[in-house]
């Protein structure tokens, strides 16, 4: 049987009268890229926050790497978070630090006893993987949006995460750069054997990166499957509208 790295069952979360998650079931399998689609305000970020222990569900279960997140104490939660790489929408690089310093930061903070040589080798290996070995001494302000995203991904990978979370990886990028980032997401899975959740509104990105799609509608995942399975014969108007919005000229 395929190994599950995330197992969500009957997850519910409300804020006052607003029921955001109304019984979410979802699995992420080891080594897969799962795309989560859902319109603005549908609860994607809430789901991710529960996954990393920043919010607690009202009921239901969120198991990550075999652990029920809501029951973890601070130390265990911090250890779990180190196994989850979060690639932010805005890359979250520190503007006052060089690329090297940005990449050193998580390593020096979280991994003890590394020599300077080991740190440099690790940074160089990852910059190579994302195709930017020449950027090591540059400042973020000297990089394009796509390059910043690549460095952000490299920095996330430096702690060898088992799970990668990509939040809107192609937002604000031109189509060619989007394609580069999509390829990078696929390459990362192959090279580092990560399991990933890709949150996006961009169906080209979804199709290129996702082994499976999961569409969050009205607080539940209503359609889960391959791109073809979800969109080729979509009957639900809300699923269809996602496709039409992305691919049909208005």
Judging by DSSP bridges, how do beta strands 84-87 and 163-167 pair with one another? parallel
Q: Which residues are within 8 A (CB) of 22 and not within 5 positions of it... i.e. 6 or more apart?
A: 12, 218, 219, 220
Sole residue written with tokens 């169906």? 203
Looking at residue 157, the DSSP 8-state letter turns out to be H
Query: Which range touches ligand ATP (CB under 6 A), out of 15-23, 112-120, 185-193, 222-230?
Result: 15-23
Determine, following the binding rule CB under 6 A, whether residue 220 of this chain makes contact with ligand ATP.
Answer: no
- For ligand ATP (CB under 6 A), the number of binding residues is 11
Q: Which is nearer to ligand ATP, 41 or 133 (CB)?
A: 41
Q: Which is nearer to ligand ATP, 38 or 169 (CB)?
A: 38
Determine, following the binding rule CB under 6 A, whether residue 172 of this chain makes contact with ligand ATP.
Answer: no
The only residue of 5, 6, 20, 197 in contact with ligand ATP, by rule CB under 6 A? 20
Q: Which is nearer to ligand ATP, 140 or 169 (CB)?
A: 169
**Residue 137 parent element (H or E):** none
Token representation of residue 187 = 């390459």
Q: Which is nearer to ligand ATP, 46 or 164 (CB)?
A: 46
Determine, following the binding rule CB under 6 A, whether residue 17 of this chain makes contact with ligand ATP.
Answer: no
Share in percent of the chain as helix, strand, coil (round to 5)? 40, 25, 30
Q: Which is nearer to ligand ATP, 9 or 56 (CB)?
A: 56
Give the angle subtended at the CA of 119 by the CAs of 189 and 151, to the nearest 5°.
45
Query: Which range touches ligand ATP (CB under 6 A), out of 13-21, 61-69, 186-194, 217-225?
Result: 13-21
Residues 26-55 touching ligand ATP, rule: CB under 6 A, are 38, 40-46
Burial of 176 (C-beta count, 10 Å sphere; 0-12/13-18/19+): exposed
Give the CA count within 13 Å in the CB-facing half-sphere of 120. 4
**Smallest distance from the beta carbon of 247 to ligand ATP, in angstroms?**
19
Token representation of residue 128 = 């190579």
Determine, following the binding rule CB under 6 A, whether residue 15 of this chain makes contact with ligand ATP.
Answer: yes
- What SS3 state is found at 88? coil
Q: Report the interface residues with ligand ATP, using CB under 6 A.
A: 15, 18, 20, 38, 40-46
């Amino acid at each position: 049987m395929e190994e599950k790295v995330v197992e969500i069952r009957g997850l519910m979360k409300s804020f006052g009268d607003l029921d955001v998650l109304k019984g979410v079931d979802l699995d992420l399998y080891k080594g897969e890229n799962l795309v989560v689609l859902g319109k603005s305000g549908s609860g994607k970020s809430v789901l991710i926050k529960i996954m990393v222990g920043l919010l607690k569900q009202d009921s239901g279960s969120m198991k990550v790497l075999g652990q029920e997140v809501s029951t973890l104490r601070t130390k265990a939660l911090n250890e779990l978070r180190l196994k989850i790489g979060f690639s932010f929408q805005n890359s979250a690089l520190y503007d006052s630090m060089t690329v090297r310093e940005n990449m050193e930061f998580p390593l020096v903070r979280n991994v003890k006893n590394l020599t300077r040589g080991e740190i440099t080798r690790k940074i160089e290996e990852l910059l190579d993987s994302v195709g930017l070995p020449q950027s090591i001494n540059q400042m973020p302000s000297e990089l394009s949006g796509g390059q910043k995203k690549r460095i952000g991904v490299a920095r996330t990978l430096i702690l060898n995460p088992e799970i990668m979370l990509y939040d809107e990886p192609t937002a604000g990028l031109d189509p060619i750069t989007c394609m580069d980032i999509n390829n990078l997401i696929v390459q990362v899975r192959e090279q580092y054997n990560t399991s990933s959740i890709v949150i996006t509104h961009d169906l080209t990105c979804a199709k290129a990166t996702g082994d499976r799609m999961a569409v969050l509608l009205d607080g539940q995942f209503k359609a889960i499957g391959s791109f073809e399975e979800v969109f080729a014969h979509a009957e639900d108007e809300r699923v269809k509208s996602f496709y039409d919005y992305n691919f049909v000229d208005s």
